[in-house]
Structure 1
Amino acid sequence: MNKVFLFTALLFLSVHGFAQKSQPDPKYKLISGGNYVQSKNYYLLTLFNQVPELKKMLVSDPVLSKIGSGKQAGFADAVKSCGKDVGCYIRAAKFTDEEIRNVGARLGELYRADNELGKLVANHLIPSGCYSLYAEMSGREMLTRVWEQDAKAVNYTISVYAEGQKPNYAQIDSISFNVRDKSYPELMALNTGLSAAEAKKEGLFFSPSLIFALHSLEMNERNRAADEEPLAETVNKVAYDYSKKIKWEQYRYTLILVPGAGPEERDTELSAGGMLRCRLAALQYQDGLAPYIMVSGGCVHPFKTKYNEALEMKKFMVGVLHIPEHAILVEPHARHTTTNLRNCARLIFRYGFPMDKPFLTSTAASQSYYITDIVPGRSKKELGYLPYRNGKRFSDTEAEIYPLAVSLQIDFDEPMDP
């Protein structure tokens, strides 16, 4: 009887202990190294560089060092021989399929549950939630899959913002340059040489390609992923600090989400739709349904606009509608409805708000039904997962949404809002 009880208890602990370890931790603090564009897009590569003992391990490994030396040599050769051939620079900058396989294989060989790579998986990759889709895999497999994702993300950035390939949303996210212009190869040569020089200081096998990708975003003025970061210390500081005073049981919802409605005119700060959505949310806030209104939307419409939808809505909320600043949370990165919902779920989790309580979407009827009926399928197709589940419909313009922690998963092919 005692043996049966002991076996049952151990089985329970092993199963539930493993499940618990595979879940993200709301207390986990993301590591940025001060570069939010890099850390939000390529978190594994950021950790490789920012965790001292781990970096030491990777730099000293002869196999990875040889791969890095080969990459450096390829960059140097490109500067000398590519001339006016833009594609030549691009091929040198991207990770090849062989390089991705070889690095993944070596990381798998080096991995041990009790060494620095094992600690990386247990102490960072899983609790961060940034790679939630792989969290149920073995530590070794998760590590290699995460490496493949980050390498793929670097290549995607180079494809769009150096090579000029079409992004997911070409009207708003395309490259700023004409890659066929006769002066463009010189920019590529300069980026290649500079990236190689900067990478030597870091000494990591992936640095030349990563730095080339980051320079490409910067050249195109596409560092939007860093806008207002860290949010809890800038535009959301007052509201985030206020959360410590909230008694959540007094509210039906955690917050009221207002998706942005970008104007099409370059000099228009806030669209008419944005104003009306703000007013609709203000009514629900004033009725005491939630302690917060979250305004969501980045610098989206028109192409390379200087106006941020969320920041302009906050100005309208405070200045015109007289909603207190402590009641307004800003999500300034979303570029379409799918990520309005995903990014809201992310902030709820990161800020330690209740994940079992729904939030309320407040918008035009057409978008409200789009959120409940269309966006779930679109999310599965574009993100690879569903970042929320539908609750009850409150009205034609408002619907309940339950956030899901899988929303923390990085999207490899949206470098302005990964």
Structure 2
Amino acid sequence: MRILVTTLLFWLFIFQTKAQQNSADQSYQLIIGKSQLYNPYIQYKSYYLLTLIQELPDLRKAIAEDQVFQKLLKDKSNNAATALKTCAQNISCYADAMKFSEAEILLVNERLSTLYKEENVFGEVAKNHLLPSGCYGLFQDLPGQQLLIKAWEQDAKALNYAIEVYIEGKKPNYPKIDSIAFSSKDKEFPTFISSNVSLNTGPDKKLFFEPSMNFALGALKLNNRLEAADYEPMNTGVNQSAIAKIKKTNFKNYKYSVILVPGAGPEDRDTELSAGGMIRCRIAAIQYHKGVAPFIVVSGGRVHPYKTKYSEAYEMKKFLVSTLHIPENSIIMEPHARHTTTNLRNCIRLMFRYGMPMEKLGLISTIKSTIPYISGILSDRCKKELGYYPYKIGQTLSDTEVEFYPNSMSLQIDFDEPLDP
């Protein structure tokens, strides 16, 4: 019996050790690119592996000097040149030239598989960046070689998706708030696209993915869909004082790490903060003054109405500080979420990146009508749309409060949400 128990404990230890090795690391510092062409915060949030290839010297050299990747770059550049000569007003023609085809994605898969060794630069990037970053958490239990391939496939799908939505006009997941800014009847749009191809191809591009990635980033810029970079860098800006307080906070003195307030956007362009947003802030402020948590997280981006200039998180923070007299260093802004699934996911991301204890419960404070939804079917919606459960729901404490357990899987990049990946 003792031998059986010892054996079970041994295998439990091995399982836990493996899980810890494969999970994201709170001490890992994300690498943000130095791109001068397009916003580096948008780039690294959507295409983290591609950003690493640009920024890590040894990895960049290995990719740039490889003959297979050199040929692929030449082929993509030739496709772009042909498109400029022949596509004229045909928008899909330009898009097809710049997207990665299934055959091209497979070609990169095969080359990465051949080049990968645990002890070389490709193995190092999987072990020291892809795993600890959490950006590819859905693949964290795969061998390093497969993790690298899946990361590339995810980034390729992400840039293809951005081109499909913001060049070709494909409907995004939330058409009312995230659609293309141009009409299919706009006679100038093909000219803009042609210029976008010209600007992002040429001899200065040294990496096989740069023409396509920059074309996708250019598409977002053309549409003025730069929401993913709102208020960045937040750690030295809107959240700087809160981060300083986090470092000094003894979380053992509180039942919850944060009070999350999901945003509620107005439906007209002239209203800064909706009545629903004000009520949610007041509910959260009551809990804050009770001392249940040291921080309030206000979550919501520039969402409603279409292309609004007002950020839900910013307006809620302003209301909490100026009207409800909550100290600014007790408020964490999360200004990127575009729906309830990412209110929770993005809150958990900031908790992780800012060094909060991930084993501690969080509290959601909101209006009565949304609590049954959050404590009920929302988790299944998260699974369907994100591919995982970013949280586990805890107890429903009242008509306006429910607990949640954070899950670091929330760091996983969402390839088909370029405004909030």
| TM-score band, normalised by shorter chain | over 0.9
Task: Find the aligned partners of 1:217 and 1:335 in 2 and give their Cα distance.
Answer: 16
Return the match for 1:117 from 98, 122, 128.
122
Whether 1:195 aligns to 2:200 is: yes
1:378 aligns with 2:399: no
> How much does 1:122 deviate?
0.3
Once the two structures are superposed, residues 3-49 of structure 1 have per-residue CA deviations (whole angstroms, 9 ceiling, x without a partner) of xxxx9999777655433221100010001114000000010111111
Q: Counterparts of 1:74-93 in structure 2 under 5 Å?
A: 74-93=79-98
Q: SS of 2:220's equivalent? A: helix
Asked if 1:104 is matched to 2:109, the reply is yes
The answer for the alignment partner of 1:178 in structure 2 is 183
Match for 1:408 among 407, 411, 419?
A: 411
Indicate the residue corresponding to 1:331 in structure 2. Answer: 334
Q: Deviations over 1:256-313 (max 9, x none)?
A: 1000000001010000010011011000000101001110000000000000000000
Amino acid corresponding to residue 67 of structure 2 in structure 1: P
SS in 2 for 1:330: strand
Mean Cα displacement is larger for which, 301-310 or 349-358? 349-358
**Equivalent in the alignment of 2:3:** none
| Conservation of the 8 A alpha-carbon contact between 2:205 and 2:211 | no
- 1:70 is aligned, of 52, 69, 75, to 75
Q: Secondary structure at the match of 2:260?
A: strand
Please report how far the alpha carbon of residue 180 of structure 1 lies from its aligned counterpart in structure 2 after TM superposition.
2.9
| Structure 1 counterpart of 2:21 | 21
Instruction: Pick one of 148, 151, 162 that aligns with 1:157.
Output: 162
Superposed counterparts of 1:210-225, under 5 Å: 210-225=213-228
Structure-2 residue corresponding to 1:4: none
Name the aligned partner's letter for residue 19 of structure 1.
A
Aligned to 1:232: 235
Give the residue type in structure 2 aligned to 1:27.
Answer: S
Aligned residues of 2:115 and 2:122 also touching (Cα < 8 A): yes
Which residue in 1 is equivalent to 2:245?
242
Instruction: Determine the structure 2 residue equivalent to 1:59.
Output: 64
Give the Cα separation in 2 of the matches to 1:312 and 1:10.
52
Matched letter for residue 181 of structure 2? S
Pairing of 1:343-354 with structure 2 (within 5 A): 343-354=346-357
Following TM superposition, by how much is the alpha carbon of 1:394 offset from its aligned partner in structure 2, in angstroms? 1.2
SS, match of residue 392 in structure 2: strand
For 1:268, which of 268, 271, 275 is the aligned residue? 271
Q: Give 1:246 shift.
A: 0.9
Q: Equivalents in 1 of 2:235, 2:336: separation in Å? A: 14
- The CA distance in 1 between the partners of 2:115 and 2:274, in whole Å, is 54
In 2, Cα distance between equivalents of 1:256 and 1:268:
25
Residue 37 of structure 2: aligned partner? none
Change (3 A) 1:14 1:57: farther
Q: Which residue of 1 aligns with 2:257?
A: 254
- Tell me the CA shift for residue 179 of structure 1: 2.7
Match for residue 294 of structure 1 among 293, 297, 301 = 297
- Once the two structures are overlaid, the 10-residue window that deviates more, 16-25 or 153-162, is 16-25
1:30 aligns with 30
Alpha carbons of 1:15 and 1:356: their partners in 2 closer, same or farther (altered >3 Å)? Answer: closer
Match of 1:305 in 2: 308
Determine helix, strand or coil for the equivalent of 2:177: helix
Does the alignment pair 1:126 with 2:131? yes
| Cα distance in 2 for residues equivalent to 1:31 and 1:201 | 23
Across the aligned residues of Structure 1 and Structure 2, the Cα RMSD in angstroms comes to: 1.7
- Equivalents in 1 of 2:88, 2:323: separation in Å? 56
Aligned partner of residue 39 in structure 1, secondary structure: helix
What displacement does 1:120 show?
A: 0.4
- Structure 1 counterpart SS, 2:283: helix
Is 1:279 aligned with 2:315?
no
If the length of structure 2 is used for normalisation, what is the TM-score?
Answer: 0.95
SS at match of 2:88: coil
Query: In the aligned structure 2, how far is the partner of 1:195 from the partner of 1:63?
Result: 21
Aligned partner of residue 81 in structure 2, secondary structure: helix
Q: Could you report, residue by residue, the CA deviation over 1:208-262 in whole angstroms, capped at 9, with x for unpaired residues?
A: 1100000000111111111111211111000110112211111010011000000
